[in-house]
Each structure stands twice: as C-alpha cells, then as structure tokens.
Chain A
Amino acid sequence: AQSVAQPEDQVNVAEGNPLTVKCTYSVSGNPYLFWYVQYPNRGLQFLLKYITGDNLVKGSYGFEAEFNKSQTSFHLKKPSALVSDSALYFCAVRDLNSGGYQKVTFGTGTKLQVIP
C-alpha cells in the first residue's frame, strides 16, 4: 500500500528566508508525486509534480521540489518566502500499481506560516 508522511504539522519561517516543507513516501512501484496548496476557505490548487527525469522540479509561484529516490523524499522548497505563501501544503503520491484509477494518497498537510 502506498503512503505519504508529512512529519511537521507546522513550519514557521521569516519572510525572505528559504523554506522547506518535508514529505516522504512509500510505494511499491515508481511514484508520481504532487504538491498542492490550500489557501484559507479555498480548494486545493496544484503546485507541481514529479514524473520522471530531473530530480529538481519547478512549479508555480516560485516553488520547487527535490526528489530523492534513495531517501524516498519529495521536499518542497522556495528560496525566499513571502507572507502570501502562508497556507496549508499537501504532498500526494500516485502509485501506478494501484489499479485503473491509480489512486492518489495525500499526506496530513503542513501549515506554513511566514512571519513578516
């Protein structure tokens, strides 16, 4: 069975500092990995995804994520945090071995608080 772990419930970072939101995964085959962001009172929005190839994936709003196969991690990063980045972030994994629907499993979410 596939699973995703986001070990930090909340991450606090000062505006202008780099940020990292951690994610580790477990799948039986090759993973497709996603990051979504949820702003208050909004639905989830897609940020970026890892399919194959380059281990550094670039996405929306200046975010990027680093895929590390040996550590089974897919950490979300941004070089310089903005107050407007404050939101709830979800990591998700899709396992091709999970059948026709290719089920997506979400992590529990990490609240990012950027302090002015």
Chain B
Amino acid sequence: EAQVTQNPRYLITVTGKKLTVTCSQNMNHEYMSWYRQDPGLGLRQIYYSMNVEVTDKGDVPEGYKVSRKEKRNFPLILESPSPNQTSLYFCASRSQGDPWNEQYFGPGTRLTVT
C-alpha cells in the first residue's frame, strides 16, 4: 500500500529537549515536505526537499532542521523545542514528474511542548 508514515503520532515534551519526528514514504517520490497546522492558519510549509541531500526552507523554518540522506526518509528535528512549536505536524510527498501531481500526506504528529 502506498503510504507516508510518521512517528511518533503523539509527543509531549519539555522546553529544550531535542526531538526528532520521522517520516518515511514507500512511493519513491522525489519531493517531500513538512508542514505545521495551526487553527486559523491552515497548513504552513516548514521545509521541503527536492531529492537526496537537497533541502530548502519553507515559510516557517525557524527552530527546525531537516535532513534527506535517503530518498524515502525525511526527518524533522527540533533541537531546542519551545512552547510556540506546539502544533500538528504533517509530512507529505509527491512525484517530481508533473506539476499537477497531488501530495500524499502522513497521518500527522501532534506535538505538545510544555
């Protein structure tokens, strides 16, 4: 089954404690993205990757890091989480081919930073 997986699904942590949210896709997609979803703000892109070792900032990259060492994986790293990073996070992927290709989303990770 074609899918994007994320782990963990739920995470409660404290300010300053480094964490990583994993994302993996099994569709051999070149493009991958991280979004955060906040009430009234919709989805905002954090980082994206066009292929292995190619990443770039989205609209709200402050406080986040990413890496793309393998095509299927695109982890999101919060090195020193703060309460304003409490949010619902989604990973997404799509094929490079046509610009009208839709994105496939993971199930989401709900992060709470206290």
Query: Which residues of A pack against B, CB within 8 Å?
Result: 6, 9, 32, 34, 36, 41-46, 49, 51, 90, 94, 96, 100-104, 106-109
Distance from B13 Cβ to chain A, minimum over Cβ atoms (Å): 20
Q: Does B105 sit at the interface, judged by CB under 8 A? A: yes
Q: Which of B50, B102, B108 contacts A43 (CB under 8 A)?
A: B108
Residues of B72-114 at the interface with A, using a CB-CB cut-off of 8 Å, are 90, 92, 99-100, 102-108
Query: Which residues of B pack against A, CB within 8 Å?
Result: 4, 31, 35, 40-45, 48, 50, 56, 58, 90, 92, 99-100, 102-108
Q: Report which residue of A9, A44, A100 has the largest number of chain B beta carbons within 10 angstroms of its beta carbon.
A: A44
Contact B106 A43 (CB under 8 A): yes
In the complex, A103 Cα to B50 Cα: how many Å? 11
When C-beta atoms are compared, the residue in chain B nearest to A50 turns out to be B100
Across-interface contacts of B106 in A (CB, < 8 A): 43
